[in-house]
């Protein structure tokens, strides 16, 4: 990443560096060009001067000849002398100018030019003094005499000088002219050189300028592309941040959020105030103070160079946090969030930022929990199945029916009207008794799952019993638990039904579990399990009621297989009924001068050739004739007119009527109606009949006559 920064800087600096270099080169080139141009100009001037001078030696000759002839003809020679003087001065001046131009043209030190220049000077130096001598005379050259003019001393001297000058003139033309010709040639070359050099500089300059233009175009193109790239990258980042489902944000060294974060972040955190906020402030409303402190410590660990970020993932306290958000419609909503943090690579050795990622993992957590729940449910189901398999099948079926009936009754008790405190309390007691009885049975059969549920229900009821004021609403949890219990029981019932399908025919009393698996049924043949079961039912029911009862059985081992199941179901029902509703509490029995342990008898006998008699009796309080009639009237089971005409046996028969065995009645101790309609129906289906004998305060006896079993009985009506 450091390299990346370097590239970035270079990319910015390069055009500047190139432009500066090129400008310097161009300046140098132009300066040289200007110099060359001015040198060229000077060389040209020098050349021109030299060319002009070339005619001067000839001119001196002409003028000197004019002077000579004038002197001979004694004419005026002042004019040509003046010309010579002017021309000689001009030559000197021209030489000075040539020197100046040569210097300016950079030829002052050129060996060849200097040599030529030296030769010119030498030639001129030989000739110039002669000219000076010619022009140096003053005064008239002639002395006028009568015989005419003749040369005077000045004239003669002048003539001598002119002759000398003329004599040297040919040499001078050759020497001075030759030197000037060489100089002109040398200068020609120099002008050519300077011109070529100037052209070269201008060409190079043009090339450099062109190159600079191309480079500038390239850089400008590149920079435009780079800025277009940057804009595109910015747009893409914005797209990513706008689309990504996770809340992304950057934390600086102070653990503050910056201006860049994903659009999901405010949504996930349920707050719009995200920008430039301190992370701690953002987190504070979401987590407990302790978690907050730990979380801030954790995030700070990421700045520590020594800590490997992958190796501290597991201690992230924000890995999964449950947070509460206020719902718009009031109340709060529970969500699960997961925060993760990564060091942002680059931008300095240790990084300037941490990348924070927050995800709403509520769905994931819920699915995980559901999965766990379903695993637990499966395990519970498996446990239940194992429990159920250990229970002898017939006992299980009987239990399910009994329990179902008891729970339905409890439900009915809860549903019936009654808002008065005493009514509510009566309901409570009724349900409590039912529940307690079933719980005892479930415990006896080792059905832990049911027993646990019943126990919970009982706890709820017990808590209600403790309360001084009972309100209708207090029953709601009881109803809910009861409902759950009933559906659980229904599940067990379904399982029992399925078991029935796989039961070996004619062996319905046996558990499907091999004896080794189920200890209870070992030796089942020697001692009929029904008797054991009834003893248990009586014992448990009595204990639950605070009563004392003893069971006596006879002939139960002789029940033909076809009747085993039906008899089993009937006797369990009726034995419990006998304890719960038939017999009195010890104090009641004491008041009636009875033994405090009540007797419950169950017998199965062959009755001649036509069938069997099943008897269930108790030495309790007998059937309450008046109250049965009252109840039947209130329930509309009989009309008042019928009631007036009804015989006692018919009145007792009412307790077998469906709809009679209501909760209201059985909340009273004297009641008797726990599913008696179901018993009666079973007996009828078997083709039998039920007879009742009772004496108030003394006993109740049910005699069920069953026909001879021809075929194995159909499955007892469920």
Partner 1 sequence: MNATRAHRLMIVDDSNVMRRKIERSQDIPNVEIVGTAGNGHEALALHAEARPTLVTMDLTMPEMDGIECVEQLVGRDPDIRILVISALADKATAIEALEKGASGFLCKPFTERQLNDALVKLIES
Q: Residues interacting with partner 1, by CB under 8 A?
A: 290, 294, 297-298, 300-301, 304, 306-308, 310-312, 314-317
- Least Å distance, CB 381 to partner 1, is 29
CA–CA distances in Å: residue 180 to residues 148, 194, 523 = 45, 20, 157
Q: Burial level of 365, CB count in 10 A (0-12/13-18/19+)? A: middle
Nearer to partner 1, 263 or 301 (CB): 301
Nearer to partner 1, 317 or 673 (CB): 317
692: which strand partners?
702
- Least Å distance, CB 313 to partner 1, is 8
Residue carrying the six token digits 């008696």? 676
Nearer to partner 1, 22 or 298 (CB): 298
Nearer to partner 1, 302 or 709 (CB): 302
Nearer to partner 1, 317 or 688 (CB): 317
**CA diameter of the chain:** 225
- Least Å distance, CB 311 to partner 1, is 3
- Least Å distance, CB 309 to partner 1, is 9
Rounded CA separation 650/415 (Å): 29
Residues 412 and 663: beta-carbon distance below 8 Å: yes
- Least Å distance, CB 362 to partner 1, is 21
Quote the radius of gyration of the chain (alpha carbons, Å): 69
Q: Regarding beta strands 332-343 and 321-326, do their DSSP bridges make them parallel or antiparallel, or are they unpaired?
A: antiparallel
- Least Å distance, CB 300 to partner 1, is 8
Angle at 91 between CA 90 and CA 92, to 5 degrees: 90
Instruction: Outline where 54-135 has alpha helix (H).
Output: 56-72, 78-104, 111-135
DSSP for residue 620: S
Nearer to partner 1, 293 or 717 (CB): 293
Q: Which 3 state secondary structure label does DSSP give 354?
A: strand
Residue carrying the six token digits 């036509």? 610
What string of H, E and C letters represents the secondary structure of 124-160?
HHHHHHHHHHHHCCCCCCEEEECCEEEECHHHHHHHH
Nearer to partner 1, 254 or 314 (CB): 314
Instruction: Outline where 546-639 has alpha helix (H).
Output: 561-577, 586-591, 625-635
What string of H, E and C letters represents the secondary structure of 442-459?
HHHHCCHHHHHHHHHHHH
- Count of other CB atoms within 10 angstroms of residue 43: 27
- Least Å distance, CB 304 to partner 1, is 8
- Least Å distance, CB 297 to partner 1, is 5
- Count of other CB atoms within 10 angstroms of residue 101: 23
Q: Residue 705 — φ and ψ, nearest 5°?
A: -95, 130
Rounded CA separation 413/425 (Å): 11
Rounded CA separation 65/342 (Å): 112
Nearer to partner 1, 33 or 356 (CB): 356
- Least Å distance, CB 237 to partner 1, is 30
- Least Å distance, CB 293 to partner 1, is 8
Rounded CA separation 468/424 (Å): 12
Nearer to partner 1, 308 or 645 (CB): 308
Nearer to partner 1, 211 or 293 (CB): 293
- Assign 3-state DSSP to the chain and report helix, strand, coil percentages, each to 5: 65, 10, 25
Nearer to partner 1, 233 or 315 (CB): 315
Length of the chain: 718
Nearer to partner 1, 301 or 709 (CB): 301
């Amino acid at each position: 990443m450091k390299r990346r920064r370097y590239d970035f800087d270079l990319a910015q600096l390069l055009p500047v560096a190139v432009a500066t270099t090129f400008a310097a080169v161009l300046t140098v080139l132009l300066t040289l060009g200007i110099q060359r141009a001015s040198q060229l100009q000077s060389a040209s001037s020098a050349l021109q001067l030299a060319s002009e001078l070339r005619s001067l030696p000839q001119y001196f000759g002409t003028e000197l000849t004019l002077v000579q002839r004038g002197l001979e003809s004694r004419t005026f020679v002042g004019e040509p002398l003046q010309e010579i003087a002017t021309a000689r001065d001009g030559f000197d001046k021209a030489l000075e100018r040539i020197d100046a131009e040569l210097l300016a043209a950079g030829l002052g030190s050129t060996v060849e030019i200097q040599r030529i220049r030296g030769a010119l000077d030498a030639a001129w130096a030989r000739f110039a003094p002669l000219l000076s001598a010619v022009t140096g005379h003053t005064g008239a050259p002639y002395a006028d005499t009568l015989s005419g003019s003749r040369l005077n001393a000045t004239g003669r001297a002048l003539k001598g000088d002119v002759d000398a000058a003329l004599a040297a003139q040919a040499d001078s033309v050759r020497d001075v002219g030759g030197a000037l010709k060489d100089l002109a040639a040398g200068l020609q070359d120099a002008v050519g050189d300077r011109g070529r050099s100037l052209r070269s500089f201008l060409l190079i300059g043009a090339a450099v300028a062109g190159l600079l233009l191309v480079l500038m175009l390239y850089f400008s193109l590149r920079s435009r592309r780079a800025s277009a790239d940057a804009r595109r990258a910015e747009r893409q980042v914005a797209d990513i941040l706008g689309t990504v489902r996770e809340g992304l944000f950057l934390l600086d060294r102070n653990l503050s959020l910056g201006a860049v974060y994903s659009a999901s972040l405010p949504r996930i955190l349920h707050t719009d105030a995200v920008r430039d906020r301190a992370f701690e402030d953002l987190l504070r409303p979401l987590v407990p103070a302790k978690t907050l402190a730990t979380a801030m410590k954790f995030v700070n660990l990421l700045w520590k160079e020594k800590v490997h970020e992958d190796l501290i993932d597991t201690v992230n306290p924000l890995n999964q946090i449950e947070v509460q958000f206020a719902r718009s419609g009031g109340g709060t909503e529970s969500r699960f969030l997961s925060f993760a943090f990564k060091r942002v690579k680059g931008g300095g050795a240790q990084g300037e930022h941490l990348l924070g990622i927050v995800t709403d993992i509520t769905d994931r957590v819920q699915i995980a929990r559901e999965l766990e729940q379903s695993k637990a449910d499966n395990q519970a189901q498996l446990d239940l199945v194992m429990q159920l398999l250990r229970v002898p099948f017939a006992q299980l079926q009987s239990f399910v029916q009994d329990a179902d009936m008891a729970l339905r009754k409890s439900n009915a008790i809860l549903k019936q009207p009654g808002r008065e405190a005493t009514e509510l309390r009566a309901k409570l007691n009724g349900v409590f008794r039912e529940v307690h009885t079933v719980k005892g049975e479930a415990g006896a059969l080792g059905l832990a799952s049911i027993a646990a549920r019943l126990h919970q229900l009982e706890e709820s009821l017990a808590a209600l019993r403790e309360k001084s004021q009972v309100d209708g609403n207090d029953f709601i949890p009881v109803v809910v638990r009861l409902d759950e219990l009933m559906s659980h029981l229904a599940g067990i019932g379904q399982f029992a039904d399925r078991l029935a399908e796989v039961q070996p025919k004619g062996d319905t009393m046996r558990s499907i579990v091999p004896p080794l698996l189920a200890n209870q049924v070992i030796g089942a043949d020697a001692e009929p399990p029904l008797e054991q079961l009834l003893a248990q039912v009586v014992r448990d029911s009595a204990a639950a009621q605070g009563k004392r009862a003893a069971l006596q059985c006879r002939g139960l081992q002789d029940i033909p297989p076809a009747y085993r199941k039906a008899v089993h179901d009937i006797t369990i029902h009726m034995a419990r009924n006998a304890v719960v509703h038939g017999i009195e509490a010890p104090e009641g029995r004491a008041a009636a001068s009875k033994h405090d342990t009540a007797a419950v008898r169950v017998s199965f006998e062959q009755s001649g050739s036509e069938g069997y008699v099943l008897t269930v009796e108790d030495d309790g309080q007998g059937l309450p004739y008046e109250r049965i009639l009252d109840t039947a009237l209130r329930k509309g089971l009989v009309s008042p007119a019928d009631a007036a005409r009804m015989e006692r046996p018919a009145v007792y028969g009412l307790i077998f009527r469906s709809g009679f065995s209501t909760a209201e009645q059985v909340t009273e101790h004297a009641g008797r109606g726990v599913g008696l309609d179901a018993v009666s129906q079973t007996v009828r289906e078997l083709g039998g009949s039920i007879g009742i004998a009772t004496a108030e305060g003394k006993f109740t006896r049910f005699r069920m006559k069953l026909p001879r079993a021809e075929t194995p009985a159909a499955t007892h009506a469920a």
